Amino acid sequence: MGFKVAVVGTGLWGRRLIPLFKVHPLVDDIALCDLDAAKLAAAAEEFGIPTTYPSLEAVLESDVDAVALVTQHWLHAPQAIQALEAGKHVYSSAPVGITVEEIGRLVDTVERTGLTYAMGETSWYYSWVSYCKQRHQAGDFGKVIFSDADYFHDLEHGLLEVFQERGGVEWRENAVIPPMLYVTHCTSQIMAITGERFTHVSGQGFVDTDPDAVFDAEKNRWSNPFSNQAALLRMSDGSSCRVNVYWRVGHPSMVQLSIYGTDASFEYTYSGAHWMDRLGETDLTPLMVPGWVGPKWLGSSFKRPGWLKRPRWLPQSIRPKKGVTTDEGAFLDVTALQPVDLLPREYAGLPDMGGEWGTNYFMVNEFIRAVGHDEMPPNNVWTAARYTIPGIVAHESAMRGGELLEIPDFGGPPPSR
């Protein structure tokens, strides 16, 4: 028997997740919610969903079993607590919260209610993260010495529009958060691979003086002057790591990862993916990107011939796509390194509307499975707190001139459900 879920927030990211909730076999019914009546009506019509609610309060008074919060980042923790108190399971977009105190209250609420909470973090599920996790579990790195993760997202690559959509008229005050408050794209990669937590941090920031004044400290609620931030962290296994979140940078924009061990190392950057040891390197780039899948007359997989250099010229019905073909069908935008076998067959053929290498499939599916089967989701509240709080403390350190600070910890998930 399935359950009912309401997607709260029908903006850019909410619309990317709605199809994944709607077709999942464990979801019996889906509803939509948004404060913007016009946006709500448009989404309801686009996705064929008749049940809508004008507010979160209305959702919480209904008979839905779970809510998916795809709202502004500063609302995530308060709304999650509100929903849990109303007896609803919660899926939340990243980050889990923006202060240590509210994250602590959320952890307490999950522990007290016993309900399911999961945070959607794309970087946890990237192909190179899956690869490194397997190699780490096999002991191939030896002991990890140093990790390095980057999230580069320049304002000119759509980030400014994201700020403006999220914040509305007051976007400068609320939406322009310090970069380190969105560090989860970096820290989640490292924690997913090693399982270790971050214990201490020293942060630094680049004071932005651009004439557009996007990062004017007098105009945002954090008094934040930084467009780019870096942090050096100590890990619980004795290794160290560096994370960088840059929002004004001359770079194509992407998420990167490097891990250096006593026996071997791995680097995933704009130039590709490489495994290295003392004897040399192996180019792994082809493994990290989806292969080609297409109609039966083209075969289940194929190399891209010259006449398909521009597949957008072809009719949609015969246009080749990228992904992995299984007995259940073609799962688009994913690689064989990711746990495709865990996805429901209903996801076959669905595009990853977020352009996030298929990670949205795994985020939504694992939350739904956790609720439907009473399982602990990988990105539970304790884990999400452990890779979100380091960024909050790193920003505090940067504001204090790089002072080394201890990172609070609310513990790990309980050993059994």
Residues 219-268 have pLDDT tens digits of 998 899 999 999 999 999 999 999 999 999 999 889 999 999 999 999 99
DSSP characters for 318-384? G--EEEEEETTEEEET--TTS-GGGS-GGGTT---TT-STTHHHHHHHHHHHHHHHT---TT-HHHH
DSSP SS3 for 291:
strand
What value does the mean pLDDT take over residues 412-417? 82
Return d(Cα 67, Cα 47) in angstroms, integer.
17
**Ramachandran class of 108: left when φ > 0, alpha when ψ lies in -120 to 50, beta otherwise:** alpha
314 pLDDT tier (thresholds 50, 70, 90): very low
Query: Under CATH, which number does the domain 125-286+391-406 receive?
Result: 3.30.360.10
Query: Under CATH, which number does the domain 3-123 receive?
Result: 3.40.50.720
Residue ranges per domain, the chain? 3-123, 125-286+391-406, 288-351
pLDDT at residue 300 greater than cutoff 50: no
Distances (CA, A) of 379 to 69, 95, 256, 285, 305: 15, 11, 20, 27, 40
Residue 329 near residue 341, CB atoms below 8 Å: no
Return d(Cα 322, Cα 301) in angstroms, integer.
9
As a whole number of Å, the end-to-end CA separation of the chain is 20
Return d(Cα 131, Cα 117) in angstroms, integer.
26
At 32, list the tokens: 């939509």
Task: For 79-139, list the strands marked E by DSSP.
Answer: 89-93, 117-120
Query: Residue 373: phi, psi to the nearest 5?
Result: -115, 10
Q: What is the pLDDT of residue 309?
A: 38
**Ramachandran class of 81: left when φ > 0, alpha when ψ lies in -120 to 50, beta otherwise:** alpha
Return d(Cα 113, Cα 305) in angstroms, integer.
56
At 271, list the tokens: 């130039």
DSSP SS3 for 92:
strand
Higher pLDDT, 332 or 357: 332
Residues 129-150 have pLDDT tens digits of 999 999 999 999 999 999 999 9
Residues 6 or more apart from 267 whose CB is under 8 A from it?
257, 258, 273, 274, 276
